[in-house]
Chain A
């Protein structure tokens, strides 16, 4: 499994180089926004994969609550950390794009606000894990907190449809020039594969840390709580 995730991670890096070159140098500049729109080819893939990472954490939370297997807790911790990282990239990229197009780095628009709340709530889940020493209790509390935090994910996705927003609604391939769809797709898979590669490493770290903690506590470090 580590070998598979490593290969996927390296494939993601390669695709990211190709997709970014395409987005920066081959895809046409946007008719109205010009070259600043090229940020889309990294911003949107980060957005999609932030939501993917948080969805993985939701599955892991349910998995822990049902099965009580440490594997789910390790996946939950890893997916949230990587989702928060991508979410931070997403926010910064959006701010850089917003300044020349909207005139401000930040505004309390429904999409931006829901993303900020989502990001902060998942940061809070990680913080919660830091406050609880007992691994089983930590896993249960953070799984429940993840279920609560995940409510923000559909709110983020539908915010541009439900409320009047400066942020544009989701595009589809039928409304976008094919020359713009290609780098978007390449980078979407690039970031996804890099997320899988990082998850492979991060879950191993989570396992090692949990086993060390259980060993310190004189508890069995087996596969289930």
Chain B
């Protein structure tokens, strides 16, 4: 088992957290841009 790496679990967790935060920020910015363009009601805007 030589060459086995250890100690990077926290790094992996932060990659997931960062990806989730990135998606959340994009969603928030998208909603803000939609509101700025006058899109406020999901069903009516269809």
Query: A interface vs B, CB < 8 Å?
Result: 1-3, 6, 16, 20, 23-24, 31-36, 38-39, 42-43, 46, 85, 88-89, 92-93, 96-97, 100-101, 194, 198, 201-202, 204-205, 208-209, 212
Contact = CB atoms under 8 A, between A and B. Distances in A.
Contacts, number: 88
Contacts of B22: 85, 88-89
A32 B4 contact: yes
Nearest to B13: A24
Nearest to B26: A85
Given A201-B30, A205-B37, A208-B37, A35 B8 contact: yes
B43 A101 contact: no
B37 A209 contact: yes
| Most chain A CB atoms below 10 A, which of B3, B15, B23, B33 | B15
Contact of B46 (A2, A35, A36, A202): A2
B33 to A, nearest CB: 6
